[in-house]
Amino acid sequence: MKQIALYGKGGIGKSTTSANLSAALGETGLDILQIGCDPKHDSTRMLMHGAWIPTVLDLVRERGDAAIATDDVVFNGYAGVRCVEAGGPEPGIGCAGRGIIATFQLLERLGALNGDVIVYDVLGDVVCGGFAMPMREGYAEEVYLITSGELMSLYAANNIAKAIARLAKRSRQTCALAGVICNSKNMEGEEDLVREFAARINSAMVAYIPRSRTVTLAELNRQTVMEYAPESEQAGVYRRLAEDIMKNTRTSIPTPLEIDELEELARRFAQV
């Protein structure tokens, strides 16, 4: 079983990438489980044709852990992808990471953490204990950072690299950085910037995803690109990403940049 986590700043297109990656993998006949680890609980919506599936944390609050069955939290989406949403607390109340912790505990009790590939879609703005759980507890063996060339997106990716490096010092640590994915904002010099950022943190850019109107149209129609426009160039990009991730055996312990180094790198490419 291959277990991968996609971490990135909120709004970077992490859930769009995760859903299309899962769809592309599902189309090959693999058994895919995607777990949305974000309080917005929108990771799997396009796989579910726009439906907001019940979140684990909401059900735990309503019924209690013991009263929940697998069918209550695991839903079949496009290409047979099994979908789970961790959920989170009401705004301003409680710990957002609690939903992730509760989800993993429940799925383990139900024996539902299985498949050929598990895709964890995790918020990366704040790598607190809950959000770091997929890495810290050995669920996610391969971590992919999703970023654009924007400074704050790179800042979030660099912070996640710091978390991986810190966790790698633990004797039982099993996760490592598997690569960087550039989800483009159409900035000048962006691809080269993200490629160099990846190299500087001891990794590599594994994919460049161009900005495409096809993504917008697909989501307006409540579908992944893979379903809405299967013959499009953008669908081909996600298929190549899926293929490359399945073949990838390169992982590393990252060497995150200091903030001054990161800013200097971004500034240099902004002057191209």
Could you tell me if 121 and 43 are in contact, meaning their C-beta atoms sit under 8 angstroms apart? yes
244 contact partners, CB below 8 Å, separation of at least 6: 206, 207
9 is catalytic: yes
Angle between helices 213-220 and 233-247 (to 10 degrees): 100
For residue 97, the 8-state DSSP code is T
162 is catalytic: no
The string over 142-164, giving b where at least 16 C-beta atoms fall within 10 Å of a residue's C-beta and e elsewhere, is bbbbbbbbbeebbbbbbbbbbbb
Q: 40, 42, 116, 162: which is the annotated catalytic residue?
A: 40
- Can you say whether residue 111 is alpha, beta or left, with left for phi > 0 and alpha for psi between -120 and 50 degrees? left
169 is catalytic: no
Q: 58, 116, 121, 125: which is the annotated catalytic residue?
A: 125
DSSP string, 221-235: TTS-HHHH-TTSHHH
Amino acid at 85: E
40 is catalytic: yes
End-to-end CA distance of the chain: 43
As annotated, the active-site residues are: 9, 14, 40, 125
